[in-house]
Amino acid sequence: MINSIETSIIFFSCVLALATGVFILRTSPLIQRSGGLSGQQWAEWFALHLREKLDDRSESDLSRIARLITLLTKYGVCVWGIVHFEMLTATFWTLFWVALLLLTLLRKTAQFHAPEKWEHVSLKLDAEHFWLIHLILLGMAEIQIPSVAPLGLITLVGGYVVVNGESGPSLLASFEDVIRVSLGMLALWSLVLPLAPNPNIVHFFTNMAIFFLLRGAVRAVLGRDWLKRRFWWIAQFFFLTSLIVKSLVVLNVIPGGFP
């Protein structure tokens, strides 16, 4: 119990520090494309983000509660997975993605609780829903047709971690991004090295910081707006690629198939 509490405190501190750094890099006057440091003062930057947070009326309270439940679930599973790393299997991740899909759908349907905010509601599924559906489908395929190395699922999880996320200009959005990447890296770790010892948090977040730099570079090259607009095609591309990899593994065309 003491180990779990200590791990949770250290993990939260690391996530908050990394999320704060990501948030400042995304929104601070230091990286303004026009005007440089004279484009926006720090006091104006702070006041702008505070006003936007206080004046936000685009999301109902019930939807915010669902969003908080989803975030706490991701955080709790990530801490629990670090402590009980040996229990992270393809079956566990598939069941977790099912639960996560239900929670994200709850957040979307919760918007209908407030009729005056219906103009902000869309019945279309967003990128997170598509990625979770694809992860669940491939996870079920891995459970039904297991292989020594789940390379297909590893490919899909890798794509999910690198290209998913909307790079929102808020501290909460940065926190959610860090938690999403943490879960993805933990899933990759458990799928690639299932018999490895429990991850060391300092080493884990050192790799996270490096990975976030690479992820940011990829998203900057491809274009964050383009990734946001074309999320359906990107998710489909990675899903079909992962299915091809899974098929090649099952057919023993590439290593990692049946013994």
Give the pLDDT confidence of 66-92 residue by residue, as tens digits: 778 888 888 888 888 888 888 888 899
Tell me the per-residue pLDDT of 43-65, one tens digit each, with 9 for 90 and over: 555 555 555 554 445 556 666 77
Question: What's the chain's average pLDDT?
Answer: 77
As a whole number, mean pLDDT of residues 192-199 equals 77
> How far, in Å, CA of 249 to CA of 160, rounded?
20
Identify the pLDDT of residue 54.
43
The burial of 36, by beta-carbon neighbours within 10 Å (0-12 exposed, 13-18 middle, 19 or more buried), is given as: exposed
Check pLDDT > 70 for residue 244. yes
Full-model pTM? 0.81
> How far, in Å, CA of 144 to CA of 163, rounded?
27
Identify the pLDDT of residue 156.
92
CB 180 within 8 Å of CB 74 = yes
Identify the pLDDT of residue 20.
78
How does residue 32 score in pLDDT terms, banded at 50, 70 and 90? low
| 99-107: long-range pairs with CB below 8 Å, 24+ | 99/73, 100/70, 100/73, 100/74, 100/132, 101/129, 101/132, 101/133, 101/136, 103/66, 103/69, 103/70, 103/73, 104/70, 104/128, 104/129, 104/132, 105/129, 106/66, 106/69, 107/63, 107/66, 107/67, 107/70
CA dihedral for 205, 209, 214, 218, sign (positive or negative):
positive
